[in-house]
């Protein structure tokens, strides 16, 4: 089903162009209901390698663990599908790496729409050292996306958004786009009658705050950049969320504090969600944030309230800590951890 209006020659869809693609809509036993739409402006081809131990002299022999499409919104779409939801990923794609990105998404069966750009899509390296069980995530800045290419992304997003109650914009802005790009996206998404869930950082985060979004997710580093004070506790996170709600930056604010958990704040109050104890050794936090956002988006789309959705998000983030590098979380582990997430409510002043 084509929900994007008249075709744009720079927008790739399956069966129309080898440069862009829209993957399979999923299996017949997939959960019914609305789909989550995601936006990834700076995607990656994630190369995951494994070495026994890095050596300073000579060669470190590596084994290829996986090659997968990555980037915030793509990872969120993958997480939604793993939680038995439906998702479509809108993303940029350029050069040979962009072609590879499209092929990987097609092979994985993730529904997607690629917007062509001139510069090359980035490749990122995840290196897992088995002896010390430690991950290194090496990420280049990525391509330059010009204003015209950015507007095409917004046009595609707006045309698609009307068929999706929630849109997730996740990840960094590539070079060439203005810091208020996500604010422009929020305006378009609201016009289409959808709600924006935003997960970004740096100038892209501060540039979006004036427009107001439905749900804003920050980790403690991002929250520190907004407030200028270290976020070390759930009390600190609650103060950040109160500021975001009071200033109209978001209707719902979710701030995470590493292994402590997260605070989900709405007009009704602030709910501390304490992370569950892990049933194993933590290996990497690389996919925890995207997994949390995927759970929030999937459950909101299914009709849950924000606190309930974020509760599953905390469990998914914990499950993601148990997988090496950027490997996806185990949904069954996440569901088993959900009852262990402890909640404590604080009324707003």
Active-site residues, by number, are: 290
Residue 222 CB contacts under 8 Å (≥ 6 apart), including other chains: 200, 201, 205
Structure tokens at 279: 């049933």
Give the side-chain half-sphere CA count within 13 A for 25: 10
Write the CA distances from 247 to 186, 211, 243, 315, 330, integer angstroms: 16, 11, 6, 29, 37
Neighbours of 148 (CB within 10 A): 11
- What is the β-pairing status of strands 261-266 and 250-256? antiparallel
Structure tokens belonging to residue 121: 């899509």
* Angstrom distance (rounded) from CA 90 to CA 21: 10
Please provide residue 102's backbone torsions phi and psi, each rounded to the nearest 5 degrees. Answer: -65, -40
Whole-number Å distance between alpha carbons of 92 and 150: 9
- Output the CA angle 221-225-227, nearest 5 degrees: 115
């Amino acid at each position: 089903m084509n929900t994007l209006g008249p075709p744009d020659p720079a927008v790739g869809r399956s069966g129309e162009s080898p440069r862009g693609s829209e993957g399979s809509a999923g299996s017949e036993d997939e959960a019914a209901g609305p789909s989550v739409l995601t936006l990834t402006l700076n995607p990656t081809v994630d190369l995951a390698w494994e070495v026994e131990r890095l050596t300073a002299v000579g060669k470190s022999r590596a084994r290829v663990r996986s090659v997968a499409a990555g980037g915030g919104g793509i990872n969120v779409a993958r997480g939604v599908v793993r939680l038995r939801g439906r998702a479509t990923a809108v993303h940029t794609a350029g050069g040979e790496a962009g072609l590879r990105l499209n092929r990987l998404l097609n092979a994985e069966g993730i529904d997607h729409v690629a917007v062509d750009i001139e510069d090359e899509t980035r490749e990122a390296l995840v290196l897992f050292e088995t002896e010390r069980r430690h991950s290194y995530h090496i990420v280049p800045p990525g391509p330059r996306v010009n204003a015209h290419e950015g507007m095409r992304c917004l046009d595609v997003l707006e045309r698609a958004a009307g068929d999706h109650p929630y849109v997730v914009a996740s990840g960094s802005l590539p070079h060439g786009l203005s810091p208020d790009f996500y604010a422009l996206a929020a305006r378009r998404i609201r016009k289409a009658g959808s709600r924006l869930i935003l997960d970004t950082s740096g100038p892209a985060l501060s540039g979006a705050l004036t427009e107001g979004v439905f749900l804003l997710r920050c980790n403690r580093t991002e929250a520190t950049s907004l407030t200028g004070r270290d976020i070390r506790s759930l009390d600190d996170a609650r103060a950040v969320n109160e500021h975001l709600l009071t200033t109209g930056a978001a209707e719902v604010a979710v701030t995470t504090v590493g292994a402590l958990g997260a605070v989900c704040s709405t007009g009704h109050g602030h709910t501390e969600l304490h992370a569950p104890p892990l049933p194993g050794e933590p290996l990497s936090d690389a996919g925890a944030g995207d997994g949390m956002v995927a759970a929030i988006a999937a459950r909101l789309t299914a009709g849950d309230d924000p606190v309930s959705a974020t509760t599953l998000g905390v469990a998914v983030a914990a499950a993601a800590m148990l997988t090496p590098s950027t490997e996806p979380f185990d949904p069954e582990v996440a569901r088993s951890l959900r009852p262990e997430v402890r909640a404590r409510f604080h009324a707003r002043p």
